Structure formats: structure tokens, C-alpha cells
Chains A and B, each alone.
Chain A
Amino acid sequence: MKTTITLNVNGEEREVDVEPSDTLLDVLRAKIGVKSPKVGCERGDCGSCTVLLDGKSVRSCLVLAIEADGQGVITVEGLARDGANELQEAFVETNAFQCGFCAPGTVLSVSELLAKNPSPTVEEIKESISGNLCRCTGYEPIVEAVLTLTGKGTK
């Protein structure tokens, strides 16, 4: 049963036909063409499919696209429309990624944190990204990136 839904993706209204069983992740990647949310575990454990849905981070593998009808989706492509933003630049500066696969999701989780709490503690930063698994960095440089941005860093 195909249904047409409307998503506002990174500021653009997009209409797309979906089945009820299509996840938001698969629709974003295959039908909208936004590739930064990654398929990592498809059960909400790894966070690499993180997007902001009406401003809140969600696992797009655990959201049906049809549930998001009429809502707004932000991915890192949306953050970087005019070049990398300050947070992304801080990530580059501190090597807060290696393979880069988890980086889009992690950046979004931190963005959500900073929107609520512009000066987080180390513990708050760690908690905010604790749902974004990274096998490469050991997380330390991600925390450092945020601290650099908020002026608490050592670099």
C-alpha cells in the first residue's frame, strides 16, 4: 500500500511514495538521496543512522518513514550547506573521526546537545554521544572537539 508522504529534508520539501514497512533510514538513502545517515546495525544500537527529526535526534532505522510524514529531517548535509560549521571544523581539528562512518551521526548528537546546553561538561558530552558507537577513535578526540568549540579544550 503505497502512500505519498511529505518530508522537509534539510530545508527542502520532498514528496515521496513509501510503503508502511519502509524505514525513514531507507527512504532517506534510497528515495531522497541523502546518504550521510548510515546503515550500521538496523536495531538502534550503533547510532550511525542518527538524524534530527523535528530537532530531536532519533535512530532513523527505528522510525517508519510514514510516521515522519509532515516532519522535518536534518542530516549533516543540512548542517554543512555553506561549508562545514564550527562544530564540524572542530571535529577536523582534533581528529574526532577516523574512518568517518559514525561521524555524521555523532555530529548530530553533539549538535542537539549544544542546542540545549552550550557549555556542557565532559560527562554531559560523553553521555550525549554514548549512543553513537565509534570503533576507531576511542572517543577522546570527540570530547576534545566539543571542548575546543566551547572554549574549554586544551588544543
Chain B
Amino acid sequence: MSDLKYVGTDSTRIDGLEKITGAATFVDDIDFGPNLLRAEIVESPHAHARIVSIDTSAAEDVPGVVRVVTGKDFPYRFGLYMKDRYIFAQDRVRFVGEQVAAVVARDPKVAKRAAKLVHVEYEELPPIFDPMEAIEGASCLIHPECERVPWFFPEADTNIAHCRKTRKGDVEAGFTEADVVLEDTYRVPRYAHCAIEPHVIVGQQDHSGRLTLWSASQSPHTQRNLFAESLAPLGLTHKDIRVITPYVGGGFGGKAGVTMEIIGAALATAVRGHPVKLRWTREQEFYNTYQRQGLVANLKIGAKSDGTITAIEHALYWDAGAYVEYGANVVNAVGLSATGPYRIPNVKIDSYCIYTNLPPGGPYRGFGYSEFHFGLESHMTRLAGMLGMDAVEFRKKNAIREGDTLAYGAEMNPSGLVEAIDKAAAAIEWGRPEEPLVPGNVVGKGFALMWKAPAMPPNAASAAFLKFNEDGSLNIAVSGMEIGQGYLTAMAQIAAEVLTVPVEKIRVETPDTDRNPYEWQNVGSHVTWGCGNAVKLAAEEAREKIFALVRRAHNACEKEDMLYLEDEKVKCRDNLEFELPLRDFVISGIQMEDGTFRGGPIMGTGMFMPEFTSALSDPETSQGGHPNVHYTVGAAGIVLEIDPATGKMRVRKTALAVDVGKAINPDLVNAQIVGGMVQGLATVLYEDMRFDDKGRMLNPNFTDYKIPTAMDVPDEIVPIIVEVPQPDGPFGARGVGEHTMIPAAPMVANAVEDALGLRITEMPVTAERVALAAQRLRESPS
């Protein structure tokens, strides 16, 4: 492994020049000519209501309006894991902003004016916003039963869409054995992804019936699949549907699965022959895509006086929103992993997916792990305090190790968790008191661990196709998405390593489901691992074809295993004279003495699917399956300076150590750490979604949903890469994208406690919340 030439180096991003010169094309940048139509959505003003009638006649009469459609035109459901969502609302609306109708017009201004003329009569129904209220009674059944994957367990006649139960050992015995037991409730609000590029889709069904979508998506193949499923009654099959995804301006989970894109697909079928564009406004981006789900977590952990954790009981109540087709799997993933990266013999986890009349929940960078880590890692520091132990030592003592039995019975993968703990603690000089930079301020340090596994169906697959060009350069077609992480570059480095072709000579193509091979979705921090394996296999297949051809055409090196590649040439171990540049034959073949040729264009394909995973297990305990491929683990620390009067916090330093198995491109891993940490800190320091008592979002804009600016980032972020190889990863790599934001929230809460002696159990931990808590503590210390 030590003689790697391309993998493990800081290759320059292959998409760099395009992105920095304005050349990179995003969906909204594509020109569709004068026939392009624009759509405007008529939205529900109510959180819960019956649709009594819809009158579209006034809108249809507006000059320039081409078509007005409602739920009657598309009475179809869709969904990734549970088919509970509608293209347009049918008889009921279930959240404020839900799409009820659409106006398609020649001009966006006309569409906007006409949409206001669609008259919808509603009969309001009582809404339900609080998951604890929703779970209490069966008074408000937000949803009927519907088709779903086999590992979801809805509870009949309730608002519980799914409950994941995990049981290991005997928790009661574990708590009896404990010398200290801490129980508390933690609350996490909803959050927004805030990719700067809004969702946009352009759909066109031509007169032959072909449906093409240009989509700002993390999931082109899954989109095609869901479009085909949902629109099957119109006679559309997978072959008829093509999804093209150019560069995507940020995803963070928000562009996974299918949300508004289904509307664009449906509208295209309603205005055949015309391309029709639907671009979400920033407001819609907040209230009608996936939101990160809210959480109320009741957590109880027991430990012996020597610091050994004996039991955990974790009940998680998720505000999953009006439709849970994707969000239910967030709930499921957490239900399996809510122990965190600890060896705990007795485990009881209940993770409830609860319907509410708020916008649909769904995937968000971290997939539920950020949410439960807030409580879990707050708890770990508090328990250490109760035991009189150092919070880092306590974590180290209980940290999970390779081969440990996970809560659901499978084995823990190789892990550099202890190394990560030591390095993160050293980076922030854990235990050393700091002087404030401003007199009167106080300084605290906080620490947190994290882990996360990709949450995917057990058969989520990746594929890659690679072809040589005349000059020995390469084109690689894959269907993961370049959403900023540098995926294209990482794939190029993997192919470069196998084929010895420099990264600058490799072009990696963004997806087109007609031409690029399959990828399930670009989610779960799995593409470097899954698609990386596929690319490696494709490159190896091409290499074997090269070797077979050379053996066939040349007598020089006939023995097996004697050929190898170096510097874009085929060489032979037992014939040092022999060298054949790739460019001489990878397209045109090798000429024989008689003038004939052998070979032809060299291509390679690779397919990868984890063949050891299974989602089938005992519904009461989760024992028996192998739902996760591996966990990526890490540790983070923070030095936080606080003005106790105003609550204002300044992150002086934060360090995050992540075990990535093998950094394909260390610079890009560091970029994930820095960017993810800032996003994580934003969720704890600044952001949260606010709703009024009618379920209307109060801050659907950047004026009042405060994502950080350049002036609101830590003074210093120290990225630390740990590399304990993942045996089934490409060159040992495992994923890192989501993990980097997970430890941020609890480590801030822990640092606030360290500095001020007060514990905040509800996110976000804003200056306002800190100042008010500090004031209360001053008024009534105890």
C-alpha cells in the first residue's frame, strides 16, 4: 500500500477550472429554447384540511396559461421506502405549503399571476404538530396504511408509521448493576439543508412518448425508478424515462430521493412536446423539500463506579412530518445505532417515526445520527462528571473496538476510535485551562465522539464503466453525484492508481441514466466506498483485458502475472526490455508482423454490491440481521470562549479526528472535515426552523434562518485523518461526508457546561439560550 502513486495524494480537483470560471453547468443554466414553459405551484395554506373543491377556470382563462393540473389529473402515490406521498394532494392536505395544483404557462410571471386565481375551498381539520401529542392518542390518524419495505412496522390505528426496536442483554439488570444512573430528555428542532442551489427540474415528454428529466438531484437512478413506479399508469417504463443530472449545487441529503421532482415529471406528461421548468423558490426550499426531523429523546444510561457502562435505554420520538416515505428510514437507522460508538452489554432502543402536520422529514447529512448524538454525547460528559472521571477517559474506557458485538448482534468493523480520541484530545490540549482573550469572558472545553454507518437497503449497488481514448486518456461513467465533495476526483484517482494513467488525463462524467451505469443514490457517505469499489473493479477489468491482449499479441511475456503497468506503459517482470505505451494500442489494437491487428477499444466495467448485508431481523429485538456495512468513527474537541453576559460564543479552536480507512485524497477529506464541522456548528449555534401555531414556517429564508457567513466560523479548525483500513473498501477507504458534522452539537453543549456550569438539553445552543440560562443560574444558583 505504501507505494501508491495517485491514491492518498492531494490531486487537484478535476472539476476545478469548470467551477471557478463559470463553465460548470447546473440544471438551471441549460437553455431549452423558446418553447420552454414555466410552472407555478398552488400551495396549501393549511396544515391539515379536507379539499372541498378546486376551481381552476379563472386561471385557465389567463392568456399565456397552457395547462392547469390538480390532484385529479395525477391520482398517484410515490415514495422511496414507504409509498405514502402524492404528486399533488388528493382529498386532504397535510402540511402548509403542500402542492395542491400547478399552473403551466409560457412565462413565469403569467404562471405566478394565474396561480393566484386557482380557487381552492378547504374544510379545516385539527392539525397536530407535537410528536408526543401525536403518539398519545389515535385521535388524529394523519395517514392510512400503505405499501412499504419489509423492515418497517407501522402500528395500526396510531400515528406511528414505524418503530425500530433493538434489544440486547437485560437492561433492567444492567441498571441494577450500575452505581450511577442518569436519565434526561433532549430536544432537537427541525433543520434545513440550505444547499445554495435550489431544487430545479426540467421535464420534457416528446411526441414519441420519451420522458427526459434534467434534475438537480443526488439520485438520478432512484429518481428514474420512482418516476417509473409512480407514472406507470401512464404507460411509462424505465426504458422510456431518462434522468440527466449535471453538476449539483450542494445536496446535504436534501436532493436525495424524490421530492418536488415528481411534479416536474408529471407536468411534462401533461404538456407533451414542451419542456417545462419548475424551480423552487428559497421559501419552498425550506418548507417543501425534506427537512431534518425534530427529535425528543429520553435517554437513560447506567455505569459502575469504575466507569464501565452497564446499560442504555434510549427512546427516540421523531417528528417525521406529513409524509415519511424517506424519513422513516432515518428513524430506522437510528433505532439500530443509538448506542453510539460504545460497548454496552444491555441495550433497549425504541425509535418511533411519528406523523405530524409539518413538512415531510427526510435525509439530512448525518441521517439522524447528529440528532441522537446531541443527547448521547451530552449524557456521556454528564455521567463522567457524576463518576468523578475525566470525560475523555470515560469515553475511551467504553469506546467500541473491532470485533465487539453491536446492539443488533453483528460485529464491529476495524476502527481507529481510540487513536482518534487521543489525537483530538491532544489537538485541543484537553485538560489544560485556557485564558480568555477578552477579560470577563470564560473558556470551556468540550469533547464528543461520533459514529455513523451508511443507511441503505442491503442491496444498494454501484456500477462503473470506463473506456480508453486514442491518446491513452480515460473517460469514466458512473452515477454517483458530484455535489461538492470531490467524488469525481476521487474516482479518477482510484482508476489512475490501477491503470497508471495520470488524474489529469481522466474525465469522469456526471450521470445520465441512459448512458451511465447504475448507482443507487449518492447518499450515506457510501459512494467513495461503494462506487470506488466499482471503479476499481472496472479499472482492473480493463487492465486484465490489456494484459490478455498483450500476451496474445506478443510473445515477449507469455507467463501469467508477469505483466504490469507503470507510467502508462505495459511492462514485463521477466523481460525488462519490454514496454508498450497504452496510447499505442488501447483503441487501435496491436499490429502483428503480417499487418493484421489484435485487440480493439479497451473498456472496463465494474459492479459492486455488499453481499453480506441483510435487513431481515426479529422485529422485537433487531437481532439476526446485518443491516449496516460498516461504521466510520471519530472524536472531536472544542475550545469555546463565552461572554457570560450576552451568551456570545467564539469557537477558538476545534479539532476533529475521523477514521476514514484510507484517505483517497487527504485535501478533500480535510475539506469535508472543515465544511462539515462548520455546518454542524451552525446547527447548534445559529440555526433552527420555527413554526407558528398554525404550522406555518416563520423563517423560510436566509434573513432569519441563519447559516454562517465567513465571519461566523471558528478561529481554527484542525482536521485529523486516522487510517485504519476498511478491508472491503477501495484501498481501505470508508466514507466520511456526513460524519464531520455529527459531534458538533454535543461538544458545544459540553463546553458550555464546562465554562458556565449549566447544562442545556435543547438545541440550538444559541447565544440567547446561553445568556438566559446563565442569568437564571445567577438568580438562583444550585
Q: Which A residues contact B (CB, under 8 angstroms)?
A: 21, 29, 33, 35-36, 38-43, 45-46, 48, 75-77, 79-80, 84, 88, 91-93, 95, 97-104, 107, 125-127, 129-143
Residues in chain B near residue A127, CB distance under 8 A: 710-711
In chain B, positions 26-42 with a C-beta closer than 8 Å to chain A are 26, 28-29, 31
Q: Are B198 and A40 in contact (CB under 8 A)?
A: yes
Q: Encode contact with A along B710-739: 1 for CB under 8 Å, 0 otherwise.
A: 110100010000000000000000000000
Q: Are A102 and B701 in contact (CB under 8 A)?
A: no
Confirm or deny: B195 has a beta carbon within 8 angstroms of a beta carbon on chain A.
Answer: yes
Complex alpha-carbon distance, A135 and B196, angstroms: 7
In chain B, positions 8-62 with a C-beta closer than 8 Å to chain A are 12-13, 15-22, 24-26, 28-29, 31
Taking the closest CB of chain A, its distance from the CB of B275, in whole angstroms, is 14
Complex alpha-carbon distance, A80 and B17, angstroms: 10
Taking the closest CB of chain B, its distance from the CB of A13, in whole angstroms, is 20
Confirm or deny: B231 has a beta carbon within 8 angstroms of a beta carbon on chain A.
Answer: no
Complex alpha-carbon distance, A139 and B716, angstroms: 11
Residues in chain B near residue A131, CB distance under 8 A: 709
Q: Are B13 and A92 in contact (CB under 8 A)?
A: yes
Confirm or deny: B599 has a beta carbon within 8 angstroms of a beta carbon on chain A.
Answer: no
Q: Are B21 and A136 in contact (CB under 8 A)?
A: no
Contact residue among B22, B195, B707, B710 (Cβ-Cβ distance under 8 Å from A104) = B22
Taking the closest CB of chain A, its distance from the CB of B110, in whole angstroms, is 12
Taking the closest CB of chain B, its distance from the CB of A101, in whole angstroms, is 3
Confirm or deny: B247 has a beta carbon within 8 angstroms of a beta carbon on chain A.
Answer: yes
Confirm or deny: B194 has a beta carbon within 8 angstroms of a beta carbon on chain A.
Answer: yes
Residues in chain A near residue B482, CB distance under 8 A: 99
Contact residue among A76, A101, A130 (Cβ-Cβ distance under 8 Å from B196) = A101
Q: How many A-B residue pairs have CB under 8 A?
A: 164
Complex alpha-carbon distance, A103 and B18, angstroms: 11
Complex alpha-carbon distance, A143 and B710, angstroms: 9
Q: Which of B318-326, B327-335, B556-564, B670-678 contacts the other chain?
A: B670-678
Q: Which of B248-256, B257-265, B507-515, B757-765 contacts the other chain?
A: B248-256
Complex alpha-carbon distance, A57 and B155, angstroms: 56
Known: A35-B25, A40-B197, A104-B22. A46 touches B31 (CB 8 A): no
Having A129-B709, A135-B707, one finds 16 other A-B pairs with CB under 8 Å, namely A40-B197, A75-B22, A76-B21, A79-B21, A80-B21, A80-B22, A95-B667, A100-B24, A101-B197, A104-B22, A131-B709, A135-B250, A135-B252, A139-B678, A140-B713, A141-B674
What residue of chain B has the Cβ atom nearest to residue A131's Cβ? B709
Ordered by A's residue number, 7 sampled pairs between the chains whose C-beta atoms are within 8 Å are A36-B22, A39-B198, A43-B703, A92-B17, A100-B15, A100-B20, A135-B195
Complex alpha-carbon distance, A46 and B701, angstroms: 10
Confirm or deny: B484 has a beta carbon within 8 angstroms of a beta carbon on chain A.
Answer: yes
Confirm or deny: B486 has a beta carbon within 8 angstroms of a beta carbon on chain A.
Answer: yes
Residues of A contacting B: mostly: loop
Q: Are A134 and B196 in contact (CB under 8 A)?
A: yes
Please name the 4 residue pairs, one residue from A and one from B, whose CB atoms are nearest each other, closest first: A101-B249, A100-B19, A36-B22, A98-B484
Complex alpha-carbon distance, A135 and B724, angstroms: 29
Complex alpha-carbon distance, A123 and B676, angstroms: 22
Residues in chain B near residue A129, CB distance under 8 A: 709-710
Q: Are B484 and A136 in contact (CB under 8 A)?
A: yes
Confirm or deny: B72 has a beta carbon within 8 angstroms of a beta carbon on chain A.
Answer: no
Contact residue among B13, B29, B483 (Cβ-Cβ distance under 8 Å from A95) = B13
Residues in chain A near residue B18, CB distance under 8 A: 100
Confirm or deny: B679 has a beta carbon within 8 angstroms of a beta carbon on chain A.
Answer: yes
Known: A45-B703, A130-B711. A101 touches B250 (CB 8 A): yes
Q: Are A99 and B484 in contact (CB under 8 A)?
A: yes
Complex alpha-carbon distance, A141 and B281, angstroms: 29
Complex alpha-carbon distance, A91 and B757, angstroms: 43
Complex alpha-carbon distance, A30 and B13, angstroms: 30
Q: Are A41 and B250 in contact (CB under 8 A)?
A: no
Residues in chain B near residue A103, CB distance under 8 A: 19-20
Count of chain B residues with Cβ under 8 Å from any Cβ of A?
A: 56
Q: Are B29 and A35 in contact (CB under 8 A)?
A: yes
Complex alpha-carbon distance, A137 and B676, angstroms: 8
Q: Are A33 and B31 in contact (CB under 8 A)?
A: yes
Confirm or deny: B118 has a beta carbon within 8 angstroms of a beta carbon on chain A.
Answer: no
Confirm or deny: B242 has a beta carbon within 8 angstroms of a beta carbon on chain A.
Answer: no
Residues in chain B near residue A143, CB distance under 8 A: 710
Complex alpha-carbon distance, A66 and B279, angstroms: 24
Most-contacted residue by chain B among A42, A48, A103 (CB, 10 A): A103
Q: Are A141 and B710 in contact (CB under 8 A)?
A: no
Residues in chain B near residue A84, CB distance under 8 A: 17, 20-21
Residues in chain A near residue B281, CB distance under 8 A: 42
Q: Encode contact with A along B430-445: 1 for CB under 8 Å, 0 otherwise.
A: 0000000000000000
Contact residue among A35, A42, A45, A126 (Cβ-Cβ distance under 8 Å from B710) = A126
Q: Are B20 and A41 in contact (CB under 8 A)?
A: no
Contact residue among A95, A102, A138 (Cβ-Cβ distance under 8 Å from B717) = A138
What residue of chain B has the Cβ atom nearest to residue A43's Cβ? B701
Complex alpha-carbon distance, A21 and B108, angstroms: 12
Q: Are B197 and A38 in contact (CB under 8 A)?
A: yes
Complex alpha-carbon distance, A33 and B22, angstroms: 12
Q: Are B483 and A41 in contact (CB under 8 A)?
A: no
Q: Are A97 and B674 in contact (CB under 8 A)?
A: no
Taking the closest CB of chain A, its distance from the CB of B133, in whole angstroms, is 33
Contact residue among B12, B197, B248 (Cβ-Cβ distance under 8 Å from A93) = B12
Complex alpha-carbon distance, A29 and B678, angstroms: 31
Confirm or deny: B612 has a beta carbon within 8 angstroms of a beta carbon on chain A.
Answer: no
Residues in chain B near residue A76, CB distance under 8 A: 20-22
Known: A43-B282, A139-B710. A102 touches B22 (CB 8 A): no
Q: Are B249 and A38 in contact (CB under 8 A)?
A: yes
Q: Are A92 and B12 in contact (CB under 8 A)?
A: yes
Q: Are B707 and A38 in contact (CB under 8 A)?
A: no
Confirm or deny: B485 has a beta carbon within 8 angstroms of a beta carbon on chain A.
Answer: yes
Confirm or deny: B668 has a beta carbon within 8 angstroms of a beta carbon on chain A.
Answer: yes
Complex alpha-carbon distance, A99 and B13, angstroms: 11
Residues in chain B near residue A134, CB distance under 8 A: 196, 710
Residues in chain A near residue B250, CB distance under 8 A: 98-99, 101, 135-136
Confirm or deny: B109 has a beta carbon within 8 angstroms of a beta carbon on chain A.
Answer: yes
Q: Are B21 and A38 in contact (CB under 8 A)?
A: no
Contact residue among A40, A80, A100, A137 (Cβ-Cβ distance under 8 Å from B674) = A137
Residues in chain A near residue B578, CB distance under 8 A: none
Q: Are A38 and B19 in contact (CB under 8 A)?
A: no
Taking the closest CB of chain B, its distance from the CB of A41, in whole angstroms, is 4
Confirm or deny: B691 has a beta carbon within 8 angstroms of a beta carbon on chain A.
Answer: no
Most-contacted residue by chain A among B15, B19, B482, B710 (CB, 10 A): B710
Taking the closest CB of chain B, its distance from the CB of A104, in whole angstroms, is 5
Residues in chain B near residue A104, CB distance under 8 A: 22
